[in-house]
Amino acid sequence: MNSGKTIFAQLMDIVPKYEFRKIVQRHKGNHRVRKLSCWDQFISMCFAQLTFRSSLRDVTTTLNALDGKRYRMGFRSKVPLSTLSDANATRPWQMYQDLAMVLIDQARNLYGKEQAALEKTKQVFALDSTTIDLCLSLFPWAHFHHNKGAIKMHTLMDLQGSIPVFIHITHGRVHDMNVMDQIPIQPGAIYIMNRGYIDFARLHKIHSQGGQFVIRARKNLRYYRRSSSPVDTSTGLQCDQRIRLTLPKTKADYPDVLRRVHLIDKENDQDIVILTNIITSTAEQIADYYKQRWQIELFFKWIKHNLHIKAFYGQSINAVKTQIWTAVCTYVILIIVQKTYDFNVNLRTMMQVLSVSLLERMTFKELFSNTELTEITESNANQLGLFDF
């Protein structure tokens, strides 16, 4: 990249401008806009994420204090607080959802050139949700329960590269399994879920569409065993069975044979029963698939600690979704930069360095050439090890 550009401008160059303009035109985002175009709105929100700004006033005050440096970052003029607030509240948040999908495709193409982390010929996804608490008096549309407010971020993550490929934002009352209806099923792909997604009719739909699933069973599962296969109990496996459901409703919802794998996770002291429609893999592979689900928990933990999505700059549902989707765009931009240049530095460190270097006029390689930044210390596998590429 051009070393004469600021680091921030180089980050924003990752965004395909032609695709962005098409998205804005499709949603009429710049219709009757006299100040602060959609592009200026977007890079303002990215700047807020990258520099950990605490409020919208903090964002605009910081940007407006930069004067000439602001132009080199890509801003055409000052950023009025009221205009940015109105833009977040009224301009379609779907623009940034569509942009996130474009960036996600770009990131997946980079990782798609490598051998899949779990299995050569299969795509493996994890499905889960995280709850973000809100004050119901400030966000009256976000009903949850017991006079509390919350939203849910339902996410389908590609485990190759830790890239979210589907995100659906709802109020807190929406049950996880309802989102399964909106997920596009890819034949041959594996979908890993926890027991909150147990719905045998929906699981059979995945099965009938050629998808495969690995899901934790509930304790009250009723079934009969058709056959069993031997397992190595020293690995924690207890049994590998072919079963059919017996209750009239569950049997009608899922009439085909299921596989039941029982294991004891000694490391976390958990007794886990897994249901799957995968017949060809070994019981050890099925157990390994389910253990990979922990990566999406680490993803939620990372974005909550490193992106500004637990406190919001606006109170309308449009402003909240705009902030979340621009945060997702920022996250994917970081992944693209890290993968493109193959930096030996984790995302958290990378974001911390970028937060104080956005105005520097150097290349990414020059910025991360300091060996102290690229020395990755070993950490607990449960603490963001996912992002130590």
Sequence-separated contacts (24+) of 337-344 with Cβ below 8 Å: 337/11, 337/14, 337/364, 338/389, 339/107, 339/110, 339/111, 339/161, 339/389, 340/110, 341/365, 341/368, 343/368, 343/374, 344/374, 344/376
Residue 151 near residue 134 (C-beta atoms within 8 A): yes
Strands 270-276 and 212-216: antiparallel
Q: What is the model's pLDDT at position 122?
A: 76
Q: What is the model's pLDDT at position 119?
A: 44
Q: What whole-number distance in Å separates Cα of residue 331 and Cα of residue 324? A: 11
Q: What whole-number distance in Å separates Cα of residue 350 and Cα of residue 352? A: 6
Q: What whole-number distance in Å separates Cα of residue 217 and Cα of residue 43? A: 44
Residue 77 near residue 41 (C-beta atoms within 8 A): no
Q: What is the model's pLDDT at position 117?
A: 44
**How many other CB atoms sit within 10 Å of the CB of residue 230?**
9
CA 383 remoteness from chain centre: 17
Q: What is the model's pLDDT at position 116?
A: 46
Q: What is the model's pLDDT at position 71?
A: 87
In this structure, the chain runs to a length of 389
Residue 63 near residue 36 (C-beta atoms within 8 A): no
Digit-by-digit pLDDT tens for the chain (389 residues) are: 445 789 999 999 999 999 999 999 999 999 988 889 999 999 999 999 999 999 999 999 999 998 888 888 988 889 999 999 999 999 999 999 999 999 999 999 988 765 444 445 578 999 999 999 998 888 999 888 878 899 999 999 998 888 999 999 998 889 999 999 999 899 999 999 999 999 999 999 999 999 999 999 998 999 999 999 999 888 889 999 999 999 999 999 999 999 999 999 887 778 899 999 999 899 999 999 999 999 999 999 999 998 988 889 999 999 999 999 999 999 999 999 988 888 878 888 889 999 999 999 988 888 887 666 555 444 444 444 444 43
